[in-house]
């Protein structure tokens, strides 16, 4: 039964990749970011739809509900938890990506996570990191570039049109 389920999952993964064939470049760009694997990239791209509809990464983050709610009256300004507007699947996927990226070694995301964790707490820094990754992904997709991490010394192939072997 386990072998049958594994075969079905493999078949579904292949079907999804075939359907994503027209977005192969977007898929490769998303996978170049630490913490984003094949399934996460497909889910994120499916939930985002046409990312060109957003004028800025902040507009995308607001649409995804990954911005703090603001309560303002007269001279008092208070920010609360995130607004949670938009796709809950997209928010959940980015929080999983952020948790994965926080565990990577020698990346700007793990450094950002460690820097803020003791100051604001685990849950808040995961949401902050998720938003940061979302904004970086928007920039990469708009500029058609692969992610380059300044803290990682491994060479990258920056041409998104050239095929790279899957790990």
What does the DSSP 8-state code read for residue 164?
Answer: -
Per-residue pLDDT tens digits of the chain, which is 167 residues long:
999 999 998 898 888 878 877 888 999 999 999 999 988 999 999 899 899 999 999 999 989 989 888 788 888 887 777 878 888 899 999 999 999 999 998 899 999 999 999 999 999 999 999 999 999 999 999 999 999 987 664 544 444 555 444 44
Residues 6+ apart with CB under 8 A from 137: 29, 30, 33, 36, 44
Q: Residue 19: how many CA atoms within 13 Å on its side-chain side?
A: 10
CB within 8 Å of 140: residues ≥ 6 apart: 29, 30, 32, 33, 146, 147
pTM: 0.80
- Report the distance separating Cα 125 and Cα 127, nearest Å: 5
Q: For residue 64, which of 84, 50, 80 has the smallest C-alpha distance? A: 84
Residue pLDDT, tens place only, 29-78: 999 999 999 889 999 998 998 999 999 999 999 899 898 887 888 888 87
């Amino acid at each position: 039964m386990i072998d049958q389920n594994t075969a079905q999952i493999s078949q579904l993964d292949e079907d999804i990749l075939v359907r994503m064939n027209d977005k192969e470049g977007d898929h490769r760009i998303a996978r170049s970011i630490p913490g984003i694997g094949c399934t996460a990239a497909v889910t994120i791209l499916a939930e985002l739809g046409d990312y060109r509809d957003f004028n800025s990464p902040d507009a995308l983050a607001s649409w995804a509900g990954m911005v703090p709610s603001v309560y303002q009256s007269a001279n008092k300004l208070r920010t609360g938890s995130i607004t949670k507007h938009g796709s809950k699947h997209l928010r959940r996927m980015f929080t999983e990506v952020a948790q994965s990226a926080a565990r990577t070694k020698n990346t700007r995301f793990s450094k950002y996570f460690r820097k803020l964790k003791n100051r604001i707490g685990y849950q808040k820094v995961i949401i902050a990191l998720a938003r940061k990754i979302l904004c970086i992904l928007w920039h990469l997709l708009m500029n058609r570039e692969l992610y380059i991490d300044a803290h990682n010394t491994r060479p990258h192939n920056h041409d998104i049109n050239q095929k790279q072997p899957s790990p």
